[in-house]
Structure 1
Amino acid sequence: MISEFKRFLLGRPMKSSELAEEKLNKVKALAVLSSDALSSVAYGTEQILLVLISLGAVAMWYSLPISIAVVCLLTILILSYRQTIFAYTTGGGAYIVAKDNLGTTTGLIAGGSLLVDYILTVAVSTSASTDAITSAFPVLHEHRVLIALFMIAIVTVLNLRGITESATILMYPVYLFVFAMLVLIIGGGYQWLVGNVQTHPPEYGAVVPGITLFLLLRAFSSGCSALTGVEAVSNAIPNFRDPAPKNAALTLIMMGLILGVMFMGISLLAYLYGISPNPKETVVSQIASTVFGRGIMYYSIQAVTALILFLAANTAFAAFPLLAFMFAKDRFMPNMFMVRGDRLGFSNGIIFLAVLSALLVIAFKGETENLIPLYALGVFIPFTLSQAGMMKRWISKKPRGWFTPFIINTLGMLTTLTICLIFFITKITQVWPIFVFLPIVIFIFRKINQHYRDLANELRLDMETEKPEPKGSVIVIPVAGISQVVKNTISYAQSLSDDIVAVYVGFSDEDMKKMEEKWELWNPGIRLIVLRSHYRSIIRPLFKFIDTVEWKKAETDHVTVMIPQFITKRWWHNLLHNQTSLLIRAYLFARQDVKIATVPYRLKK
């Protein structure tokens, strides 16, 4: 039943040979990998206005030059990451670039920041999508956590079904959002030009009392949250169809153009219409209601906005498992992240991301606005390290025509480094957890890597000198009585060794005497050792006996404990029986020189 439900939910298992069919063309890749970046249009301008409103509506005109600065930074990043795509065609983005050029620790900082950022992406995106829904339907505000968790569950299932299938499904909402935003921008501009809407924008260039460079930098850093997700394309080059680097570069440029136009358009409309941030209604909602009224167009725009914010999480689901795979390949994360699931996706990475982001939503009760600065900083640290790594690459290798890309990457590094410093200075109360969390993450990566290196050293052998040593085997069979299960186990043991002993632990003289009489009557051809337990424990007397056998036989024979176990037909039947065999195995696993074997007997009823 569980297997059938899994097939219904995820689809049929796919052959490894079908992996080539799971590659993305440019149209689908743009939808899957740019949904995070494009969705930031819904809150990027709002983040700028939230800072400026502290000085009153007169300061809102500063949103335009700040938005232009953000778009300029976007252009630099697009050009910089285009260089990265052609230099590192296997993907991995900032992690691979930083590790290859600046050392392992720097690579771990870049990659660790991105992994944390992807978790925050899912939490922030689903919460922002919930905000868009509750702006249109305030009655749902009390249920925002459940709505966000439901969204995470949906996008998780879609990604578990495979990247191509999820891209096919998610492609339409992403392009519908782009169309809706362009309609809003064009419609809003037309309504303003013909004077159909009475607006009262603040005077451009007006003197604002109390304005400071600190506040402007803070507003600029807040607006830079619109640039999260730009790096996803360079991380996911292996997901593209051939020629993968060329297709990835074209996808990156298209994403930058669309994002720049939409972000600047929304910022311009917010200024022209005199929009101020409202805790109960988003900026996009205010613009749409002003331009179209609360009719079908307004609700359509809110619906696709909520949908794109929800789908923004999909960028993280596309990039996180691939980055986790690369970490696992380098032995900095568990091997399970390298395993492809039934649908050829890295299922463990997808599930891990879903669980952590859901916990984050629950912990913050769906109000993740305070995570946005941390979320943005988690991207700008890898941005900076990636550009620095590319600078080192150009200087070290000096390929033909290297100076122009070197200048581009230098400009990108200096710009993103400046943004990081602005974040540290202006939002230290919100971004300080990264100074605690990143060292912990890197420490965990190091400990995992150390474990794998220790394991490799301990298991390594010299194939020329170290050969298996033939030994005999003494088999110990714990028995609770005489049954088909015990008969099945003894029969199997006799096929492996002549030195077999059965062990029975009794709690009373009467039990022990009955067992000895029955065994003598049955006479299966092996010895029975009867032990007395004064404390009604099977484990302690059994282990003392095994110690005795092990001490006597360690030099000449293997000591194997062969455990009889019946397998019930129904899962709930297990609840009706003592799990003594499981307990014995749990204790024996800690023993270095004792081998464990379980002989199952499957019940028919």
Structure 2
Amino acid sequence: MFRDLKRFLIGRPMKSSQLDHERLPKWKALPILSSDALSSVAYGTEAILGVLVAVSASAMWYSLPISLAIVLLLTTLILSYRQIIYAYPSGGGAYVVSKDQLGDKFALVAGASLLIDYILTVAVSITAGVAAITSAFPSFLEHKVLISVLMVLLIMVLNLRGVTESATVFSYPTYAFILGLLVLIVAGLFSLKNGHVDVDLSRPHEVAINGITWFVILQAFSSGCSALTGVEAISNATPNFRSPEGKNAANTLGVLGILLAVLFAGTSLLAYLYHVAPHPHVTVLSQVAEEVFGRGGLYYYIQGTTALILILAANTSFTGFPLLAALMAKDGYMPRQFTLRGDRLGYSIGIIALSLAAILLIVAFHGDTDLLIPLYAIGVFLSFTLSQTGMVRRWFRLRDRGWQGKALINGIGAVVSLAVLTIFAVTKFEEGAWVVLVILPIIVVCFLRIRSHYDVVASELRLDIQKVHPQQTGNLVIIPISSISQVVNESIAYAMSLTRPENIICVYIGFDFEALHAMEEKWRQWNPGVRLVTLRSQYRSILRPLFRFVDSAEARVSENDFITLLVPEFVTRKWWHRILHNQTSLLIKAWALHSKDIIVISVPYRLKN
């Protein structure tokens, strides 16, 4: 049943040779890897206005120069990440750059930052998309957490089906959103030209706006920088592009930069022109669309495509998180399971882990985007800073042709990213940024502990093939039984294939003398040719008497001999039949594997009915 459900949801397995067919052309890569960055247009302007409107309505004028500063920062980051794409076409972004240029410790900080960013991207994108839905349909507001969780699960299933398939599904809503916003910006500016909007672009006439300080401006700037999250995704996932990977990824990143600059600057300008202020239950973009189009078809088109891209923006993380986790797992800093590809050639463990982490965040923060955003940009700009710093060091090491200009671009990116990171950490500290600052070192310590474990295991398992060879030894087989049955008969037959009958002991544990005598009499009548040991358990425990016997047997055999605990068990045809039977064999195996230095073998007997 589970296999049939899995095939229905995910599809049939794909061959490893089909991996090249899963690579993305540019027109598919843009929506699947840029939806996070593009979707941030929907809440970047709102984040700026949310800080300024708390001072006064007049202070909203500052949203224009702040938006311009963010566009300039975007330009620097796009140029910087184009250089990373060409320098590190294997992907991995800040983690790979930091590992190569700054060392493992900085790489782990970058990796932890990116992983946190990916998780928060899913949570923020989904909750922001649901907020767009509830802005148009307020009756859904009380169910926003449930809707958010269902959206995460839907995107998880689509990604488990494969990169190419999910890219096809996600491309159309992304292009529809881009078209809708371009139409909104053009229509809004056209209304301005025709005098339908009363506009004054000059600074308010007051000499000074009460309450406006550099701290407030920097706080608004750092909040608006949430619109830059996701610009690193293309460089992180360069291997997902079709050949030539580097050139295609760099061109796609350039297109993203132009689109993001136009859409973000345009929506910020319209929000100011139409005197839109943040509202608890209606997004800024929703208010702008209503001002320009009214509550007609185009308004619902904008809201619908905004909700879709905000929800689908989470898919950027479903591309980046599994790939980064796989790279870190290959280096030994994450569980090895993250390197395994699933039936559809995606890193399924990473996809599922990302989904569960995002769901936990959504439930913990009650699906509130405003509570999640302060956690959002710390990891992003920390990874920006490390990647740009690493690239500066790379250019100074190589000193190839034109290295001064390249180093200057990355240097500016590093300085500005560090400045934004510092501003964000200070201004958003009490709003929740402290959580990320506390969690980051904990995650890094976990990475180091995982690597230490793998190093210890590798050291213990290492074998000198020139000196060490397997030696023939004895084997004492112990078979715990509860009755004389077909299962026990097959288990004894299997044990005889491993060793001589005199090295096989069957152990029966009874709770009273009558049961013990009955078993001994049956055994004499059956006479299978192996010894039976009966033990009485006064406290009705199976495990303690059994393993006391194993300990005593272990003390009597040679140091080089093996002790094998052979556990008979029958397997039912239907899964629900299992709950009708005792699972003593499972307990015996679990206890033995984790507490005894012995070999444990399960001998299954499959029931026909």
TM-score range, shorter chain: over 0.9
Letter in 1 for 2:140: L
Matched residue, 2:301: 300
**Is 1:517 aligned to residue 521 of structure 2?**
yes
Q: Could you say what secondary structure the match of 1:55 adopts?
A: coil
C-alpha distance in 2 between matches for 1:343 and 1:384: 35
Matched residue, 2:572: 568
C-alpha distance in 2 between matches for 1:45 and 1:599: 65
Contact 1:202 1:274 in 2 (8 A): no
**Is 1:442 aligned to residue 441 of structure 2?**
no
> Shift of residue 205 of structure 1?
5.0
Letter in 1 for 2:444: I
Matched residue, 1:535: 539
**Is 1:69 aligned to residue 69 of structure 2?**
yes
Letter in 2 for 1:168: T
> Shift of residue 554 of structure 1?
3.0
Contact 2:76 2:409 in 1 (8 A): yes
Matched residue, 1:10: 10
**Is 1:25 aligned to residue 25 of structure 2?**
yes
Letter in 1 for 2:120: L
C-alpha distance in 1 between matches for 2:454 and 2:403: 38
**Is 1:354 aligned to residue 358 of structure 2?**
no
> Shift of residue 34 of structure 1?
0.3
Letter in 1 for 2:520: E
C-alpha distance in 2 between matches for 1:333 and 1:592: 28
Contact 1:13 1:343 in 2 (8 A): yes
> Shift of residue 58 of structure 1?
1.2
TM-score by length of 1: 0.98
C-alpha distance in 1 between matches for 2:200 and 2:324: 45
Q: Could you say what secondary structure the match of 1:265 adopts?
A: helix
Matched residue, 2:260: 259
Matched residue, 2:148: 148
Q: 1:592 to 1:535 in 2, by over 3 A?
A: closer
Letter in 2 for 1:180: G
Match of 1:599 among 587, 596, 603: 603
Matched residue, 1:491: 493
Contact 1:270 1:283 in 2 (8 A): yes
Matched residue, 2:389: 388
Contact 1:52 1:60 in 2 (8 A): yes
Identity of aligned residues (%): 56
> Shift of residue 370 of structure 1?
2.4
> Shift of residue 97 of structure 1?
0.5
Contact 2:197 2:273 in 1 (8 A): no
Q: Could you say what secondary structure the match of 1:562 adopts?
A: strand
Structure 2's unaligned 5+ residue stretches are none
Letter in 1 for 2:245: A
> Shift of residue 202 of structure 1?
6.8
Matched residue, 2:469: 467
Q: For residues 11-39 of structure 1, give each alpha carbon's deviation from its aligned partner in whole angstroms, at most 9, with x where no partner exists.
A: 11000000000000111000100000000
Matched residue, 1:315: 316
C-alpha distance in 2 between matches for 1:242 and 1:184: 36
**Is 1:478 aligned to residue 477 of structure 2?**
no
Give me the CA root mean square deviation. Answer: 1.2
Letter in 2 for 1:435: L
Matched residue, 1:458: 460
Letter in 2 for 1:391: V
> Shift of residue 209 of structure 1?
2.7
Contact 1:58 1:202 in 2 (8 A): no
> Shift of residue 541 of structure 1?
2.1
Contact 2:566 2:600 in 1 (8 A): yes
> Structure 2 matches for 1:548-567, cutoff 5 A?
548-555=552-559, 557-567=561-571
Q: For residues 481-531 of structure 1, give each alpha carbon's deviation from its aligned partner in whole angstroms, at most 9, with x where no partner exists.
A: 111111111111111211212111122221111111111111111111122
Letter in 2 for 1:548: S
Contact 2:511 2:536 in 1 (8 A): yes
Contact 2:566 2:601 in 1 (8 A): yes
> Structure 2 matches for 1:179-218, cutoff 5 A?
179-195=179-195, 197-199=196-198, 203-207=202-206, 208-218=209-219
Q: For residues 167-192 of structure 1, give each alpha carbon's deviation from its aligned partner in whole angstroms, at most 9, with x where no partner exists.
A: 01110000000000001001111112
Matched residue, 2:46: 46
C-alpha distance in 2 between matches for 1:185 and 1:473: 80
Matched residue, 2:94: 94
> Shift of residue 211 of structure 1?
1.7
Contact 1:324 1:337 in 2 (8 A): yes
Q: 1:106 to 1:206 in 2, by over 3 A?
A: farther
Q: Could you say what secondary structure the match of 1:476 adopts?
A: strand
> Shift of residue 556 of structure 1?
5.3
Contact 1:201 1:273 in 2 (8 A): no
C-alpha distance in 1 between matches for 2:38 and 2:105: 32
Q: For residues 127-147 of structure 1, give each alpha carbon's deviation from its aligned partner in whole angstroms, at most 9, with x where no partner exists.
A: 101110111011111111011
Matched residue, 2:133: 133
> Shift of residue 540 of structure 1?
2.1
Structure 1's unaligned 5+ residue stretches are none
C-alpha distance in 1 between matches for 2:162 and 2:401: 40
Matched residue, 1:274: 275
Contact 2:365 2:371 in 1 (8 A): no
Q: For residues 151-175 of structure 1, give each alpha carbon's deviation from its aligned partner in whole angstroms, at most 9, with x where no partner exists.
A: 1111111111100000011100000
